[in-house]
Amino acid sequence: MIDIAVLGAGPAGMAAATQAAQRGASVVLFDESPAPGGQVYRAAPAGYAMPRDADRAEGDALRAALAASNAVVRTGHRVWGVGGGPLVPLGEAAAPFRLDALAPDGSNTITEARALVLATGTHERIIPFPGWTLPGVLGLAAATILLKANGVLPGRRVVVAGAGPLLYAVAAKLAKAGATVAAVVDLAATSEWIAALPALMARPDLLARGAAWRASLTLKGVPVLAAHRIVAAEGVGVLQRVRVAPLAGGDYRVFDCDALTIGHGLVPATEATRAFRAAHRYVAESGGWVPVLDEDRRTSIPLLYACGDGSGVRGAAAAPASGRVAALAALRDLGLIDAASHATSRASPAADFARASRAGGAMARMMALRPALVAAIPPETIICRCEGVTRAQIEAAVEDGATAMNQVKQFTRCGMGPCQGRLCGEAAAELVAARVGGREKAGFATGRVPLRPVAMDALLGDFDYADIPVPRPAPI
Amino acid sequence: MSAPFDVAVIGAGVMGCSTALHLARAGMKTVLLDRGAICREASGVNAGTLTMQMTRAALVPYALRAHEMWMRMAEWCDGGHVQAVDCPGLSVAFTEHEIAMLEERAHFRRQAGAPIEIVSTARAREIEPGLSDKALLAGHCPIDGFTSAYLTGRAFRPALLNAGVELREDTAVRGIQPGFSIDTEAGELRATRVVLAGGVWLQDMAAWLGITLPIKVLINQLVVTERLPPVMRTVLGVASGLLSLKQYANGTVLIGGGWQGIGDRERGGLAVKPDSFLGNVRLAAHTIPALRDARVVRSWLGLEAETADALPAIGPIPGVPDAWIIGSVHSGYTSGPYMGKLLAQAICGQAPELPLFPIDRLLAKDQAA
Ligand SMILES: Cc1cc2nc3c(=O)[nH]c(=O)nc-3n(C[C@H](O)[C@H](O)[C@H](O)COP(=O)(O)OP(=O)(O)OC[C@H]3O[C@@H](n4cnc5c(N)ncnc54)[C@H](O)[C@@H]3O)c2cc1C
Ligand SMILES: Cc1cc2nc3c(=O)[nH]c(=O)nc-3n(C[C@H](O)[C@H](O)[C@H](O)COP(=O)(O)OP(=O)(O)OC[C@H]3O[C@@H](n4cnc5c(N)ncnc54)[C@H](O)[C@@H]3O)c2cc1C
């Protein structure tokens, strides 16, 4: 058994693992990606030379520190199972945490750890609109992965839409990589950006980067529409154009394009904390449901910690600091460092986190869910694309008495497919919340394994019938 | 205080829903209370298998009648239904020991009225081409099938309301005073009769009336795959009863059989046990080899009640006039709608079509009336 397992090798997880290993803990860090980096610092694949930019440099620094530590890095490992900890029969002492992961060769690996640090990042929120399931429409995150990890453009003529700084980052990177950016469609009004400025002042580097992105777009003559939304994506079998209108209503504009990259913010990935039945609360400006944490990033479950955007969106700059705070708490709780050492060590990352959180928090607020966008979804628009459930069907289920997400799921199959609500959950929950009196009331679907769909073949392995521990039958 | 209800049914699972519906249709002013949402416990999360080959022999006559009710649910439930599918069922044996078990169990169930015949592997594979060639023998029952159990609450709700049942969800009952005065989170209410229909929580409910009725809690695990091309067309089980497999119209395959997970009455179904999870999916893939190519999308757990003798608790509560109990029925989803109908007949003073399962046998001597 190891001391600390860390799930997710983004900036938060890398920093947590590095910190813990540097202080003598045995550490294993898991990520399904082929290399550490996470969303923003995604590593380039072998053979692809990535442009040197600020992201690259920060990511490389975290990767180098991680590599220099004794942490065992298990990339290419998709963690599908979490267990142990509080998930034991009543009255039994908490068990070691257990992670089941599929290794790159397809085999299943089991890891037991005394403490578990979750650094699982976010999913992108996309609030549906007519045509959002057309080929050619993809998330900002997916577009970045194409760009960063594969060096591939999502299209030649691209509309970039949604909310938050990602919008400008993606648009600028697309333009630089040779795509024509047909338009940037920002949900935020110019006044919101101005209101965020004081908080962004805490991070002049980020501010400068954002300004540079915008300037590069202006230079190229890219239309930037503030306080606008995508009303519909249209095309025969594949995306050909989008309709754009002011949020406040008014005339449509049409932009021809072969790709629409769109993201309405980031939602903390809480599958694992939900599976452990940790306490959660709904904080719109942190991205949604987040685990309840103390100042040292302890969840309500002993020896379970959460850091990075998965515990509340605060951005890439804040993520490593939160990872270090979590790692130090775990070290302390495991008795690997003493109280005095903990107190001195945590001061600096805690201060870093507070500082970076100001800017990150302002950006997170801008990316928070906008109820007006959900209210504008037409009744026949598909919300859950795995199961083909429309807005009208979700609302009919509420009319039929389903007042919480678990029951809406039962009544409609919304969220039962392979994505398990990662894509549709936000819009569906907001539709329910509008009718039952808020997201807290609407709740969330129970977290269960697998955290990701898992191939049976890999699980099963080779076995004989005699190996199956068939329990005793019920009486006849 | 307003006029008392004729009857308060506590617990809105399949047992409570069916009982309440039949009582209201018989003219009783009925309130149906649940601490959560309708059919969100066992009755909404179970595997939906309507099988004679897993049902205890003594319950086969009930299950046969209930099977018919499920298949025709829309007719008696104001259009509400659970997408019931009528298809044959196979129970297979992989070892000599299982062959003996299969034959013995088929014999008792046949005596109880289930039309089960023992068939060769070749015949079984005509009925179910997806079946593994490792099967040695099978029990075949033409009366089998399954539902989408997650629709159960939605299916019952309109009919309950149409029948005049007052449905109070999110209303936990905390106790019952003689008479009856029912203490809920939302205040007191009065009823001339009470029906306890609390699934695994029947033990707590019986205690409100001073009755000690031990109820064992089973933590059943289920696993579902993503959509697959057709890999099977029957309900499949194994001789021991520890597998239930079926493929839904949407292509998903549900893997069950009563493997046990971690949980309890207080915390619900918490988590799968890794060994049970693995064992259950291995048994499934051993039986339908094409499942090897599937991906598992989700697992979950639900709580099933069992009495000391694993037979139902359905009937009057000894020593407490006008108090009734219903639950702890093995394969209780299958026979649920019929059991509710029977109990309603008894409460209305009629002779039930088939005998109830009075609980006197389960109580310590000094408690039984
Ligand atoms: C497209 C995009 C672009 C962004 N660009 C910027 C930017 O330019 N500037 C900025 O400040 N912020 C940016 N952000 C935000 C930034 O990504 C986050 O703030 C930062 O990555 C958070 O770090 P993290 O460590 O919390 O999570 P992440 O970096 O998301 O890392 C989480 C990791 O966990 C892994 N993981 C999760 N679950 C599992 C599992 N079950 N098994 C295995 N691995 C798992 C994931 O693969 C992932 O690598 C961007 C976000 C996105 C989505
Ligand atoms: C995972 C699983 C799979 C199964 N598979 C099958 C199958 O394939 N075929 C089959 O025939 N059977 C199956 N069963 C068994 C079947 O589901 C049950 O026998 C049946 O649903 C029990 O119904 P019930 O109404 O007695 O209990 P429940 O459905 O559990 O209902 C009890 C209700 O009482 C309520 N309650 C509890 N306490 C209070 C209180 N204080 N105040 C108010 N309300 C309260 C609960 O909220 C609950 O809604 C399965 C069971 C499980 C758990």
Looking at residue B367, its pLDDT comes to 67
Q: What's the A40 CA to ligand 1 centre distance in angstroms?
A: 6
On chain A, the residues whose CB falls within 8 A of the CB of B82 are: none
On chain B, the residues whose CB falls within 8 A of the CB of A467 are: 282
Looking at residue B1, its pLDDT comes to 53
Quote the minimal CA–CA distance from B296 to chain A in Å: 5
Looking at residue A48, its pLDDT comes to 60
Q: Is B128 helix (H, G, I), strand (E, B) or coil?
A: coil
Name the residue with higher pLDDT: A461 or A440: A440
> What is the residue range of B276's domain?
87-143+216-306
Looking at residue A46, its pLDDT comes to 64
Q: Do A286 and A308 contact (CB within 8 A), yes or no?
A: no
> What is the spatial distance between Cα A330 and Cα A25, in angstroms, rounded to a whole number?
10
Tell me, what DSSP letter sits at residue A433?
A: H
Residue in the block written with tokens 């900036």: A11
The phi, psi pair for B346, rounded to 5°, reads -65, -40
Residue A87 to residue B94, Cβ atoms within 8 A: no
Q: Is the pLDDT of residue A338 over 80?
A: yes
Which residues fall within 8 angstroms of residue A18, CB to CB, at 6 or more apart?
A62, A65, A66, A69, A71
> What is the spatial distance between Cα A30 and Cα A44, in angstroms, rounded to a whole number?
18
> What is the spatial distance between Cα A279 and Cα A436, in angstroms, rounded to a whole number?
21
C-beta A30 within 6 A of ligand 1: yes
Residues in chain A: 476
Looking at residue A203, its pLDDT comes to 78
The verdict on B109 and B155 lying in the same domain is no
The verdict on B231 and B123 lying in the same domain is yes
Q: Is residue B74 part of a domain?
A: no
Q: Is the pLDDT of residue B368 over 70?
A: no
On chain B, the residues whose CB falls within 8 A of the CB of A473 are: 101, 239-242
Q: What's the A38 CA to ligand 1 centre distance in angstroms?
A: 4
Looking at residue A49, its pLDDT comes to 59
Pocket-testing residue among B171, B200, B201, B221, ligand 2, by greatest number of atoms within 8 A of Cβ: B201
Q: Is the pLDDT of residue B11 over 90?
A: yes
On chain A, the residues whose CB falls within 8 A of the CB of B297 are: 416-418, 420, 450, 453
Quote the minimal CA–CA distance from B263 to chain A in Å: 6
On chain A, the residues whose CB falls within 8 A of the CB of B266 are: 90
The domain tally of chain B equals: 2
Residue from A41, A54, A50, A65 nearest A119 by CA: A41
Looking at residue A229, its pLDDT comes to 97
Q: What's the B42 CA to ligand 2 centre distance in angstroms?
A: 3
Tally Cβ neighbours within 10 Å of residue A434. Answer: 16
Q: What's the B200 CA to ligand 2 centre distance in angstroms?
A: 7
CA A18 from chain centre, in angstroms, equals: 22
Nearest protein CA to atom 53 of ligand 2, as residue: B302
Tally Cβ neighbours within 10 Å of residue B319. Answer: 14
Q: Using pLDDT thresholds of 50, 70 and 90, give the confidence band for residue A151.
A: confident
The verdict on B329 and B362 lying in the same domain is yes
- What CATH number is attached to the domain comprising B179? 3.50.50.60
Residue in the block written with tokens 């007052």: B166
Token pair for B320: 């407490």
The verdict on B199 and B331 lying in the same domain is yes
Angle at B48 between CA B260 and CA B297, to 5 degrees: 65
Token pair for A373: 């966008």
β-bridge pairing B30-33 and B216-225: unpaired
Using alpha carbons only, how large is chain B's radius of gyration in Å? Answer: 20
Q: Do B282 and B269 contact (CB within 8 A), yes or no?
A: no
Quote the minimal CA–CA distance from A465 to chain B in Å: 7
Inter-helix orientation angle A339-366/A319-333, to 10°: 150
Q: Is residue B34 part of a domain?
A: yes
Please identify, by atom number, the ligand 1 atom nearest to the C-alpha of residue A206.
11
Tally Cβ neighbours within 10 Å of residue A127. Answer: 27
Q: Is residue B68 part of a domain?
A: no
Lowest-confidence range among A200-209, A416-425, B350-359?
A200-209
Quote the minimal CA–CA distance from A125 to chain B in Å: 21
The verdict on B235 and B356 lying in the same domain is no
Ligand number nearest CA of B312 is 2
Pocket-testing residue among A120, A126, A144, ligand 1, by greatest number of atoms within 8 A of Cβ: A120
> What is the spatial distance between Cα B42 and Cα B304, in angstroms, rounded to a whole number?
6
Q: Do A101 and A74 contact (CB within 8 A), yes or no?
A: yes
Residue B279 to residue A468, Cβ atoms within 8 A: yes
- What CATH number is attached to the domain comprising B273? 3.30.9.10
Residue A476 to residue B108, Cβ atoms within 8 A: yes
β-bridge pairing A259-263 and A157-162: parallel
Mutation choice for B interface testing from A389, A422, A436, A468 by most B CBs within 10 A: A468
Q: Is residue B160 part of a domain?
A: yes
User: Could you report the per-residue pLDDT of A246-294, keeping only the tens digit for each?
Assistant: 999 899 999 999 999 999 999 999 999 999 999 999 999 999 999 999 9
Q: Do B44 and B149 contact (CB within 8 A), yes or no?
A: yes
The verdict on B240 and B101 lying in the same domain is yes
Q: Using pLDDT thresholds of 50, 70 and 90, give the confidence band for residue A209.
A: confident
Last residue of some domain: B277, B306, B335?
B306
> What is the spatial distance between Cα A40 and Cα A52, in angstroms, rounded to a whole number?
14
Supply the mean pLDDT for chain A.
94
The pLDDT of A392-420, averaged and rounded, is: 96
Residue A460 to residue B277, Cβ atoms within 8 A: no
The verdict on B238 and B299 lying in the same domain is yes
Using CB atoms, pick whichever of A401, A420, A459 lies closest to residue B297. Answer: A420
The phi, psi pair for A22, rounded to 5°, reads -60, -25
Q: What's the B148 CA to ligand 2 centre distance in angstroms?
A: 15
Quote the minimal CA–CA distance from A457 to chain B in Å: 5
What is the arrangement of strands in the sheet containing B117-120, beginning at the earlier edge strand? A454-455, B295-306, B216-225, B253-256, B244-247, B235-238, B85-93, B137-146, B117-120
Which residues fall within 8 angstroms of residue A81, CB to CB, at 6 or more apart?
A98, A99, A100, A101, A449, A450, A451, A454, B274, B277
Using CB atoms, pick whichever of A401, A460, A469 lies closest to residue B292. Answer: A460
Please identify, by atom number, the ligand 1 atom nearest to the C-alpha of residue A266.
53
Q: What ipTM does this complex have?
A: 0.94
Q: Is the pLDDT of residue A317 over 70?
A: yes
> What is the spatial distance between Cα B91 and Cα B210, in angstroms, rounded to a whole number?
42
Q: Is the pLDDT of residue A43 over 80?
A: no
Residue A410 to residue B151, Cβ atoms within 8 A: yes
Which residues fall within 8 angstroms of residue B307, CB to CB, at 6 or more apart?
B213, B214, B215, B216, B313, B328, B359, B362
Residue A471 to residue B260, Cβ atoms within 8 A: yes
Q: Do B356 and B364 contact (CB within 8 A), yes or no?
A: no
Domains of chain A (ranges, CATH numbers): 2-123+267-364 (3.50.50.60), 126-264 (3.50.50.60), 377-442 (1.10.10.1100)
On chain A, the residues whose CB falls within 8 A of the CB of B300 are: 446, 448
The phi, psi pair for A122, rounded to 5°, reads -130, 165
User: Could you report the per-residue pLDDT of B233-248, keeping only the tens digit for each?
Assistant: 999 999 999 999 999 9
% chain A with pLDDT above 90: 85
Residues in chain B: 369
> What is the spatial distance between Cα A371 and Cα A432, in angstroms, rounded to a whole number?
12
Residue B225 to residue A446, Cβ atoms within 8 A: no
Tally Cβ neighbours within 10 Å of residue A217. Answer: 22
Last residue of some domain: B306, B330, B358?
B306
Pocket-testing residue among A14, A39, A160, A270, ligand 1, by greatest number of atoms within 8 A of Cβ: A39
The verdict on B134 and B231 lying in the same domain is yes
Q: Is residue B69 part of a domain?
A: no
Please identify, by atom number, the ligand 1 atom nearest to the C-alpha of residue A79.
42
Inter-helix orientation angle A405-412/A425-436, to 10°: 110
Q: Do A474 and B310 contact (CB within 8 A), yes or no?
A: yes
On chain B, the residues whose CB falls within 8 A of the CB of A419 are: none
> What is the spatial distance between Cα B336 and Cα B345, in angstroms, rounded to a whole number?
14
Measured CA distances, A69 to A3, A29, A58, A429 (Å):
15, 12, 17, 42
Amino acid type, A394: I
Please identify, by atom number, the ligand 1 atom nearest to the C-alpha of residue A316.
19
On chain B, the residues whose CB falls within 8 A of the CB of A98 are: 274
DSSP H/E element including B120: strand B117-120
| Model pTM score | 0.96
Residue B286 to residue A448, Cβ atoms within 8 A: no
Token pair for A302: 């002993």
Q: Is residue B276 part of a domain?
A: yes
The verdict on B229 and B295 lying in the same domain is yes
Mutation choice for B interface testing from A407, A408, A436 by most B CBs within 10 A: A407
The pLDDT of B70-81, averaged and rounded, is: 98
Tally Cβ neighbours within 10 Å of residue B129. Answer: 13
Q: Is residue B61 part of a domain?
A: no
Mutation choice for A interface testing from B154, B224, B300 by most A CBs within 10 A: B154
Token pair for A368: 């928070």
> What is the spatial distance between Cα B204 and Cα B212, in angstroms, rounded to a whole number?
9
Q: Is the pLDDT of residue B255 over 90?
A: yes
The verdict on B205 and B284 lying in the same domain is no
Inter-helix orientation angle A339-366/A190-200, to 10°: 160
Q: Is residue B333 part of a domain?
A: yes
Looking at residue A41, its pLDDT comes to 85
Q: Is the pLDDT of residue A308 over 90?
A: yes
Name the residue with higher pLDDT: B108 or A202: B108
For residues A96-110, one letter each, b for 16 or more C-beta atoms within 10 angstroms of the residue's C-beta and e for the rest, the string is bbbbbbbeeeeebee
Q: Is B189 helix (H, G, I), strand (E, B) or coil?
A: strand
Residue B226 to residue A448, Cβ atoms within 8 A: no
Q: Do B90 and B169 contact (CB within 8 A), yes or no?
A: no
Find the residue in A nearest to B46 (Cα).
Answer: A410
Supply the mean pLDDT for chain B.
97
Amino acid type, B350: Q
DSSP H/E element including B90: strand B85-93
Which residues fall within 8 angstroms of residue B20, CB to CB, at 6 or more apart?
B7, B9, B12, B30, B32, B160, B165, B195, B340
Backbone CA torsion sign across A378, A384, A389, A392:
negative
Residue A401 to residue B271, Cβ atoms within 8 A: no
The verdict on B182 and B291 lying in the same domain is no
The pLDDT of B128-149, averaged and rounded, is: 98
> What is the spatial distance between Cα A39 and Cα A33, in angstroms, rounded to a whole number?
10
The verdict on B294 and B171 lying in the same domain is no
Inter-helix orientation angle A166-176/A204-219, to 10°: 50
Amino acid type, B234: T
